Structure 1
Amino acid sequence: MLKYFKNIFVLITLGFVIWMLFLDSNSYLIHYDLNEEIDELENEKEYYRKEIIKDNKAIKELKREEGLEKFAREAYYMKRVNEDIYIIEYADSLKTKNNE
């Protein structure tokens, strides 16, 4: 086994492989990190595409008169004249020390 390491071609090839895998600016480790970053960015891109689709649906809903009224009633508790609003909160939706 030791006689193979005495060969100059094996030493040069081994040095070249070590250099390319670990020490070069285009090494395997750097490529691995860059591929992970690309995957994260692709996931973010997909998330933002889904959010854009959801926001476009909300915009279309708010352009309608009924959608705008529903949003105003639910988000800002607005009401019509001569109308009473009752807000019902269930026990499991209330924040208490036990279920926080």
Structure 2
Amino acid sequence: MKLLVCIIDNVYADEVEVQLKKQGYRMTELASSGGFWRKGNTTFLFGVNEEDIPQLQEALKKACLDIEQRKRKVSKQAHRYTSFLVDVKDAAPFLGLTT
């Protein structure tokens, strides 16, 4: 089991949430702002089996591209989101949990 931490621009956040919930992904959403991208963004936490990671990454990409196509807007950023993949067994300190 892996924990995918995905920090995404608020422009894409609603679409990511809607599309991925429809596909059965469970997530925790954290509103955040500040130093990482110096603007409003949303952090999603996904618990995912290792074999499902490519499908989740493709679903994230598709949700971002769909919003760009609908708004006829091209991203000026090199990346639409930043993600980190963590083994669940290593995530407890990251999440502030003690064992």
Shorter-chain TM-score: which interval?
A: under 0.3
* Structure of higher RCO (CA pairs closer than 8 Å, 6+ residues apart): 2
More strand by share: 2
More helix by share: 1
**TM-score (normalised: structure 2):** 0.24
**TM-score (normalised: structure 1):** 0.24
